[in-house]
Chain A
Amino acid sequence: MMFEWKVATRFLKEGKGQSIFILLGISVGVAVMVFLNTLISGLQEDLINQTVGNSAHVWLTGQSVFEQQISEMGEDNVVAGNADPRPVQLNNWQAMIEVLGERDDLRGILPLVEGNAFYVNNSVATPVIIKGFDSQKADAIYNITTRITTGNSNYDGNNLLVGHTFATDNELKPGDIIKLNLPSGSSQSFVISGIFDLGNSAVNSSWMVMDLSRAQKLLGYGNEVTKIEMQVKEIFEAENIDASIDNRLDHVVVDNWIESNSSLLTALQSQSASSIMIQVFVLLAVTLGISSVLAVSVVQKSKQLGILKAMGTKSGQASRIFLLQGSILGIIGSLIGAAFGIGLVQMFLWGTSLSTGVPLFPLSIQPQNILVIAIISSLSSTIAAFVPANRSSKLNPVEVIRNG
């Protein structure tokens, strides 16, 4: 056992009250950091999951004739005229699916046709969006099979699924027949086989989910699709994946959820920033606390240090005694604090689930975050000991001996 270690641990053990007090301080600080960190990241994860968990993260559409003609901006460029609002079909989409299928950063790939229609009920026309899904692949993104509230999830042939809000507003139930009017003027009837709830009111009130081939025929796209939707494995990689797909494929427009949800992301970022700010200040308070307790301890132990120095303890060793005390307090305090913080998280989950049976939002303990917090706190405690350690090394044994 190192000499400095032996003295440091003994000083801590003998100054029991003080050591327990400062340990408590560190533990509470670390616990707050762990809890706050888990809470904020759980909140954000929940929010992101609710927003984009069951929707496309990256999607590509065809370039319209209008978009294909866009040239470099120059002084004599004048743009005039109407653009075709009809979604453009993706040429050669099977080849694109193959290309996309080779990527390992994607989780689900769904080719689909999109189009607009009206549902007319009592002479009120409600605009709806027709979604033609490949039923084999749609669940990879929308998980629709498990989100049917009434009826069944079968949407082949003339069957279709409507949203929960749409069904309530128009007093529709599974088995009812609805008629959709297309912009082209034609109209066709479908049987509602099920009602879904995708957790988003815009989707629930406007989507008509039907089979891909039926939608292709209805909207006149033959064998082609208008859009390929994808979910990515790492949600925040969406922008990079977007760029790399854009590079790989010509004549397509690629979009991602980050671009289309920029305000949500700004909110999340400022939330993270404020969470980090709070953690930094907590850490600062803890560090200052350790520093001042150890500074007092140097004064208290100055007699012992003086005598140790008279007996041949070097200045470096004297300062290490206090650095060691700082790190011992930091490491033990961080460990207790981490456990305490995890306990707080469990209590939060338990407490918020009392009335409803499910927690307010799911929190998952993130071991890597807790590890980072514990390491940073331990390091800060050691750094906090530097000033007292320096004082200890400068202590002159003569003065201590003279003054008794």
Chain B
Amino acid sequence: MVQPFRQRCYSGSGKSTLLNILGALDQPTKGDVYFNDRSFSKMTQNELADFRNQNLGFIFQFHHLLPEFSAIENVLIPTWIKAGRGTNIKAARAKELLELVGLKDFIKSKVTNLSGGQQQRVAIARALINDPAILLGDEPTGNLDSESTDQVYGLFRTINETLGTTLLIVTHNDHIAAKSDRVIELADGRISRDYLNSSFDDEEAFLKVAPVYCKICQHMRVEKHHL
């Protein structure tokens, strides 16, 4: 997994299960997952917990922030887990990340006072704080309006380009899939298609990936032409 890629799947095809297995949260009934030649099945629960903490960042459909903590505290939680104590040594980095996701003015806010899109962006900053190799997203924009969705995906691109983080995103939104470098399509628990988007130009990608009934895509295509 060296390339940023996304999988696009249909409901019930096993995408969330796959993501949980890749995220070391669930065990496969058959087979194994390797990360840098380390086998998940040979790691203890505690080792897997450390692995998740240090190598993975999770972004879920529901932001899953801790309402008891402020925005910056939520971002810092993975560093606390890593250090085993409530340290502020990475507070500067957390501020940087919150600025990166556009929440400069909400650093000390209680997360319950933020909008859905803002909360999701806090979750993204939190997923990035331990400099993970892979960012796993399970429908990360599933609960957001199209404007917030665009912001979040723009952000993913920036993260991918500036930090070199691999993003693995589960979605059945074709328009999002069309924006990724690599698309793996799942159907009934099997890979049905696997192709690189980066070889196409935007126009071609949209036509290839987005089915005709994708209204947003149509709309965006028009917008793009205007630009």
**Chain A contact residues, CB within 8 Å of chain B:** 1-3, 5-7, 10-11, 13-14, 303-304, 306-317, 397-398, 401-402, 404
Contact = CB atoms under 8 A, between A and B. Distances in A.
A401 B25 CA distance: 10
Interface in B201-217: none
Interface stretch (B77-85, B144-152, B163-171, B188-196): B77-85
The 5 lowest CB-CB distance pairs between A and B, nearest first, are A312-B53, A6-B86, A14-B68, A1-B86, A307-B64
B67 A401 contact: no
A315 B44 CA distance: 12
B82 A312 contact: yes
Contacts of B58: 310-311
Interface in B75-132: 77-78, 80-86, 126
Given A311-B81, A398-B20, A401-B138, A304 B68 contact: yes
Interface in B37-93: 45-46, 49-54, 58, 60-62, 64-69, 77-78, 80-86
B23 interface: yes
A315 B45 contact: yes
A367 to B, nearest CB: 35
B80 A310 contact: no
A1 B53 contact: no
Contact of A308 (B77, B82, B84): B77
A2 B46 CA distance: 18
A5 B51 CA distance: 23
A317 B49 CA distance: 11
B26 interface: yes
Contacts of A404: 61-62
B13 interface: no
Given A310-B52, A313-B49, A402-B16, A304 B66 contact: yes
Nearest to B55: A312
B26 A398 contact: yes
A401 B64 contact: yes
B51 to A, nearest CB: 8
A268 B138 CA distance: 69
Given A6-B86, A10-B69, A312 B52 contact: yes
Given A312-B81, A401-B62, 4 more contacts: A2-B85, A304-B68, A308-B66, A309-B49
Interface of B: 16, 20, 23, 25-26, 45-46, 49-54, 58, 60-62, 64-69, 77-78, 80-86, 126, 138
A315 B85 CA distance: 16
A312 B86 contact: no
Contacts of A312: 49-54, 78, 81-82
Contacts of A1: 85-86
B81 A308 contact: yes
Give the dominant DSSP class at A's interface: helix
Nearest to A11: B68
Contacts of B46: 314-316
B83 A3 contact: yes
Given A309-B49, A310-B58, A3 B25 contact: no
Contacts of B62: 401, 404
B78 A311 contact: yes
25 contacts: A1-B86, A2-B84, A3-B81, A3-B86, A5-B86, A6-B80, A6-B85, A6-B86, A10-B69, A304-B67, A307-B65, A308-B77, A308-B81, A311-B81, A312-B52, A312-B81, A314-B49, A314-B50, A316-B46, A398-B26, A401-B62, A401-B64, A401-B138, A402-B16, A404-B62
Counting chain A CB atoms within 10 Å of each CB, the highest count among B26, B68, B83 belongs to: B68
Contacts of B45: 314-315
A393 to B, nearest CB: 10
Nearest to A404: B62
Contact of A14 (B20, B51, B67): B67
A309 B45 CA distance: 11
B81 A313 contact: yes
Contacts of A6: 80, 85-86
A8 to B, nearest CB: 11
Contacts of B65: 307
A38 B16 CA distance: 62
A309 B64 CA distance: 12
Nearest to B61: A404
B16 A10 contact: no
A309 B66 CA distance: 12
A311 to B, nearest CB: 5
Nearest to B76: A6
B84 A398 contact: no
B73 to A, nearest CB: 8
A303 B64 contact: yes
A399 to B, nearest CB: 10
A402 B142 CA distance: 13
A354 B60 CA distance: 67
Nearest to A400: B64
Nearest to A304: B66
Contacts of B67: 14, 304
Nearest to A306: B64
A2 B52 contact: no
A307 B61 CA distance: 12
B64 A398 contact: no
Contacts of B52: 310-312
A108 B61 CA distance: 83
A387 to B, nearest CB: 21
Contacts of A314: 45-46, 49-50
B86 A401 contact: no
A296 B136 CA distance: 31
B25 A310 contact: yes
A315 to B, nearest CB: 6
